[in-house]
């Protein structure tokens, strides 16, 4: 009798596993499309400040993903989209980002430093505190294209009035492999954020 039950259960287990795998694959495909549908968002009007989401340091300067974000924030600032720039990430990365902008002629009074954050949620939450302290109500959030979807949703969850700005020339978009790699990373990061809030 036991052998019969085991024999019958094996096809059911296989079928259940196949269904689960198919559902997981479908979920990833849907999320992949959602992420890439908004990866080119750009601001349509001015804001009180530009928030540059942190992306690490390398060889004493901004990391390879941070640099194009800072460059684009500088471009938007010079084009008149916002008077102020908030650079983010745990010290010393924020200071490195600030110095990068100072070296390119940005006046010190333009830059606000957010140097406590360790992830995207904290980048935005602590930047929101700076905005409240200074009376700024609207923001443009600069990040890499693959990161726009999650950043946008987090900003909304925090009640921020924020436009998104996908930084051009991001190294995450240089090849098809990187494009896929970073998008799949977000397919993991977004559910994790929804479950754990990080």
* pLDDT tens-digit map of 152-189: 999 999 999 999 999 998 888 888 888 888 888 888 88
Architecture of domain 49-196: 3-Layer(aba) Sandwich (3.40)
Contact (Cβ atoms closer than 8 angstroms) between residue 131 and residue 82: no
Parts of the chain with a pLDDT under 70: 1-10, 20, 23, 197-198
Calpha distance 14→27 (Å, rounded) = 20
pLDDT at 8: 47
Contact (Cβ atoms closer than 8 angstroms) between residue 52 and residue 44: no
pLDDT at 82: 96
Q: In terms of Cα–Cα distance, which of 56, 48, 69, 59 is closest to 167?
A: 69
Tokens of 98: 């600030």
Contact (Cβ atoms closer than 8 angstroms) between residue 99 and residue 125: no
Tokens of 162: 């924020």
Q: Looking at 3-102, which runs of residues are DSSP E strands?
A: 49-52, 57-58, 61-62, 84-88
């Amino acid at each position: 009798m036991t052998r019969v039950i085991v024999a019958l259960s094996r096809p059911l287990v296989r079928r259940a596993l196949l269904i689960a795998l198919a559902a997981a694959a479908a979920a990833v495909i849907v999320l992949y499309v959602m992420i890439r549908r908004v990866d080119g968002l750009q601001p349509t009007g001015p804001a009180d400040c530009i928030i540059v989401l942190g992306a690490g340091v390398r060889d004493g300067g901004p990391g390879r993903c941070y640099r194009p974000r800072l460059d684009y924030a500088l471009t938007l600032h010079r084009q008149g989209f916002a008077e102020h720039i908030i650079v983010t990430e745990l010290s010393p990365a924020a200071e490195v980002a600030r110095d990068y902008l100072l070296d390119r002629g940005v006046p010190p009074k333009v830059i606000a430093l957010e140097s406590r954050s360790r992830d995207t949620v904290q980048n935005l939450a602590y930047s929101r505190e700076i905005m409240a302290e200074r009376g700024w109500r609207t923001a443009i959030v600069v990040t890499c294209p693959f990161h726009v979807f999650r950043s946008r949703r987090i900003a909304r969850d925090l009640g921020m009035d924020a436009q998104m700005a996908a930084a051009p020339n991001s190294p995450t978009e240089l090849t098809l492999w990187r494009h896929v790699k970073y998008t799949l990373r977000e397919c993991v990061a977004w559910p994790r954020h929804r479950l754990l809030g990080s």
